[in-house]
Amino acid sequence: MFFKGIYGSPNQKSRIIRQIIKKNRNIKRNKILFIGDSYADYSASTRCLIPFCFRGTKRQMENELEREHQKILRIKNFENCK
């Protein structure tokens, strides 16, 4: 089986993954592949223990990772403020 559906916003991606797993109980997680183009996609797939494939150029992937890294640094720095 290839594509059974294409999903996206406004629902949270991890919620969508959980709904798909629940709806298709006979499919094992290692037989599902999340194809995405953002760090948010990757993050959702890892939270749900689903294999992930990034679809985009190497530069797009680097940009996504850099953007997310900057967000993480800002959050960590904010938490460390007193």
User: pLDDT (tens digit, 9 = 90+) per residue, 22-70?
Assistant: 888 888 888 888 888 888 888 888 889 988 888 878 788 788 777 776 6
Tell me the three state secondary structure of residue 32.
coil
What is the pLDDT at residue 77? 46
Is 57 within a domain?
yes
What is the tally of structural domains in the chain?
Answer: 1
Q: How far apart are CA 6 and CA 16, in angstroms?
A: 10
DSSP element (H, E) containing 54: strand 52-54
Is 4 within a domain?
no
Q: How confident is the model at residue 10 (pLDDT cuts 50, 70, 90)?
A: low
The predicted model scores a pTM of: 0.63
Is residue 73 pLDDT above 60, yes or no? Answer: no
Q: Cβ contacts of residue 12 below 8 Å, gap of 6+?
A: 44
Is 34 within a domain?
yes
Average the pLDDT over 6-24 and give the result: 81
Is 75 within a domain?
yes
Domain that holds residue 33: 13-80
